Each structure stands twice: as C-alpha cells, then as structure tokens.
C-alpha cells in the first residue's frame, strides 16, 4: 500500500487518474509488471475518486448491482453492503443517503467486484470514526490477500501504508505575478 501525499495542487488526484487510464500522459507510459497483459491497468483497477458515482433514484442495492453487472461482479452485493454497514439500507433510494453513507456505498464496489489494484483518492472523506475503521480493515484485507493500493491522502488516517510518495506542490511564482501575465 502506497500513500500518495502532498499539498493541494501537487498532483495526487492526477497521478491516480493517470494510472487508472482516465488521463493520458503527456510523455512516456504507465505499465504494470505482473498484471494481466491482455488488460489495461484501468481494467485491473478500481478507481474511487471524489465523486461517488451513484444514481439517486436507484436503491442502495440497485446502485451496487448496476456496478457489479458493468464491472463483472460475482453476485457479492449483499455481502459487500453488510461489510460496509449498509445492509439494512439496501432498499432505500440512494437519494436519502448521507455523505458518509454514499462514500460507504462507493467503497462497497471494492468488495463486490474483485480487482487486484485499488486507486483511492481521499477514501476516508465524509466517513465517521467507525467508517474510517471499516476502511482500514478492508484495505488491510486487500493488501493481505496480495492486492495493491495507491491512496491519495491529505491528512492522518487509520490506514497504515507500507510506503509514502510525497509530491511537492506547484512552485510559487517568484515574481508575484499571475501565471501567463507579464510584469
């Protein structure tokens, strides 16, 4: 598990999106040693970003079932919802979920659909203390089973990373002028 840290604007989210295949590199390439050579990295990874990618009119269970059908889940919807603490909310429309419950539903995708790589961008945002503990537990379970995790984090979390990649923020403008303007 690699924690990607740094200030706002340092490129943490961009790095994860690049690895997921959502952004193209301006030069070079991103490769995965030991992965399935027939699949892109994005096809072997889960990307959980800032947006929870839920349809408000669908129930909690229908949202996760949709993602499982699109991404090849093995029917672990109820088990995944229970694991993230949303089992009793399965019939509730996602419209009624709190921000923390929406984040838990997004994290349930990690459990319902097996992928060896998890790309997590601020995964603990909106989670309460029990949610943070649940996140730490499922990440340790994934790593313990041989999975890889790259996780952009801003502050302290309950999650213990194996290593840290610290990105530096953008360089301040030495002349004190706006970018693109002449002094």
Structure tokens at 41: 């990295």
The answer regarding whether domain 2-24+40-166 maps to CATH 3.50.50.60 reads no
Pairing label, strands 117-121, 45-48 = parallel
pLDDT of residue 180 exceeding 60, the answer is: no
Structure tokens at 37: 């050579």
DSSP 56: T
pLDDT tens for each residue of 83-103: 999 999 999 999 999 999 999
Q: What are the residues whose beta carbons fall under 8 Å from the beta carbon of 149, sequence distance 6 or more?
A: 1, 2, 117, 118, 119, 120, 139, 142, 143
pLDDT for residue 26: 92
pTM of the entire predicted model: 0.86
Query: Is the separation of the CB atoms in 18 and 178 below 8 Å?
Result: no
Name which residue leads in pLDDT, 30 or 87. Answer: 87
């Amino acid at each position: 598990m690699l924690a990607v840290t740094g200030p706002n604007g340092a490129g943490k989210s961009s790095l994860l999106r690049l690895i997921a295949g959502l952004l193209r590199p301006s030069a070079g390439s991103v490769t995965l040693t030991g992965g399935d050579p027939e699949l892109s990295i994005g096809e072997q990874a889960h990307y959980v970003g800032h947006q929870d990618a839920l349809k408000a009119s669908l129930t909690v269970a229908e949202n996760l079932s949709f993602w499982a059908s699109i991404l090849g889940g093995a029917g672990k919807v109820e088990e995944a919802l229970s694991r993230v603490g949303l089992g009793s909310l399965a019939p509730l429309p996602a419209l009624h979920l709190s921000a923390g419950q929406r984040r838990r539903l997004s994290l349930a995708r990690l459990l319902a659909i097996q992928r060896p790589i998890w790309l997590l961008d601020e995964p603990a945002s909106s989670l309460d203390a029990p949610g943070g503990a649940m996140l730490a537990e499922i990440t340790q379970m994934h790593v313990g089973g041989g999975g890889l995790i790259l996780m952009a984090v801003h502050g302290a979390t309950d999650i213990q990373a194996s290593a840290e990649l610290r990105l530096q923020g953008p360089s301040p403008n030495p002349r004190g002028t706006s970018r693109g303007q002449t002094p």
